Structure 1
Amino acid sequence: MDATQPAFPVYHRKFGNPAPLGLMAFGGTTFVLSLYNYQVRGIKTPNVITGLGLFLGGLCQLIAGIQEWAGGNTFGGTAFCTYGGFWLSFGYIYVPHSGILKAYEGKTDELNQALGIYLVSWGIITLIFLISLHRSSVALVATFFLLMVTFWVLAASHFTQRLGTQKGGGVLGIITAFFAWYTALATLLTKDTSYFLLPVGDLSGGQTN
Structure 2
Amino acid sequence: MIPTTPVPAKDGIANPAPLGLCAFGMTTVLLNLHNAGFFELNTMILAMGIFYGGLAQVIAGVIESKKNNTFGLTAFTSYGFFWLSLAGLILMGKWGWFTAPSDGAMAAYLGIWGLFTLGLFFGTLKLTRALQIVFGTLVILFFLLAAEHATGNESIGKFAGYEGLVCGFSAIYAGIATVLNDVYGKTVLPLG
The verdict on a shared fold, with TM-score over 0.5 as the criterion, is yes
Contact 2:26 / 2:169 at 8 angstroms: preserved in 1? no
- Partner Cα separation in structure 2 for residue 170 and residue 118 of structure 1: 17
CA RMSD of aligned residues (A): 1.8
Q: In the TM superposition, what is the alpha-carbon distance from 1:47 to its structure 2 partner?
A: 4.9
Number of aligned residues: 180
Q: Does 1:138 align with 2:129?
A: yes
Give the corresponding residue for 1:19.
Answer: 17
Match of 2:55 among 56, 59, 73: 59
User: 2:73 — aligned with what?
Assistant: 77
C-alpha deviation, 1:197, in angstroms = 1.1
For residues 152-175 of structure 1, what are the alpha-carbon distances to aligned partners after superposition, in whole Å with 9 as ceiling and x for unaligned?
Answer: 001101111112100111011100
Q: Distance in 2 between matches of 1:139 and 1:91?
A: 27
| Per-residue Cα deviation, 1:35-62 (whole angstroms, up to 9, x for no partner) | 101111xx34355422111110110000
Distance (Å, rounded) in 2 between the aligned partners of 1:48 and 1:163 = 22
AA partner of residue 29 (structure 2): F
Deviation at 1:94, TM superposition (A): 2.2
Matches within 5 A, 1:55-204: 55-95=51-91, 96-97=94-95, 99-100=97-98, 103-104=99-100, 111-190=102-181, 192-193=183-184, 197-201=188-192
Counterpart pick for 1:28 among 16, 26, 29: 26
Q: Taking structure 1 as reference, are residues 167 and 78 closer, same or farther at Cα in structure 2, changes over 3 Å only? A: same
Q: Structure 1: which 5+ runs fail to align?
A: 1-12, 105-109, 202-209
The one-letter code sitting in structure 2 at the alignment partner of 1:134 is L
For residue 178 of structure 1, what is the amino acid of its counterpart?
A: F
Summarize the Cα distance change of 1:33–1:73 in structure 2 as closer, same or farther, 3 Å threshold: same
Larger Rg: 1
TM-score by length of 1: 0.81
Give the C-alpha shift of residue 99 in structure 1: 2.2
Q: Is the 8 A contact 2:62 2:73 kept in 1?
A: yes
Within 2, Cα distance between the matches of 1:55 and 1:87? 9
Structure showing greater relative contact order (alpha-carbon pairs closer than 8 Å, 6 or more residues apart): 2
**Residues of 2 paired with 1:137 and 1:190: CA distance?**
14
Name the aligned partner's letter for residue 53 of structure 2: G
* 8 Å Cα contact 2:145-2:157 kept in structure 1: yes
Deviation of 1:188 (Å)? 0.4
Secondary structure at the counterpart of residue 72 of structure 1: coil
CA change 1:191–1:153 in 2 (3 A) is: closer
